[in-house]
Amino acid sequence: VGLESTYVAVERVPRLDSDFDADSSFYGYLAAQGIGFGDADERLETVLATPREALLIGTPPALPMLLIHRVSRDTAGRPLERVRSLYRGDRFSFTAHLQG
C-alpha cells in the first residue's frame, strides 16, 4: 500500500542499528531510550509514482500517490526524525485529529 523512509540522526540514537527490533514500535524504542516525542509538522501533497516506486508498491506507473513529509521534534523542541511516506492514491484515505 505504501513506502515509508525514516531518517534519524545517529547522535540521537547511536545503537539504533543493533538494538532496535524492526517488528516493534520505533516510538516505543525512543521512549525506552529516554527520548520523548514532542510534536511534528506534516506536509501532504499528491505526486505521480516513479517507475521504481510503482514497481515496489505494485501499481501501474504514474499512478497518483499521496506523499507525506513529516519532521518530528522531541519534548525539548530538538529535531527527532524526518519521514517520507508514499501511499497509493487509489487505496488510501487520510484522517487527522487536530487539537490546539
Across 1-6, average pLDDT: 91
**Is the predicted pLDDT of residue 96 greater than 80, yes or no?**
no
Segments making up each domain of the chain, as ranges: 2-10+37-88
In this structure, what is the dihedral angle of CA atoms 53, 56, 62, 68, given to the nearest 10 degrees?
-50
**Is CATH 3.40.1350.10 the right assignment for the domain spanning 2-10+37-88?**
no
d(CA 78, CA 93): 30
pLDDT class of 94 with cuts at 50, 70, 90: confident
Output the pLDDT for position 98.
Answer: 61
DSSP tag of 24: S
Q: Around Cβ 22, how many Cβ atoms within 10 Å?
A: 5
What is the per-residue pLDDT across 47-89, written as a single tens digit (0 to 9) for each? 998 999 999 999 888 889 999 999 999 999 999 999 999 999 8
**Is the predicted pLDDT of residue 44 greater than 60, yes or no?**
yes
d(CA 58, CA 70): 24
pLDDT, the chain, mean: 90
Q: What is the β-pairing status of strands 37-48 and 2-7?
A: unpaired
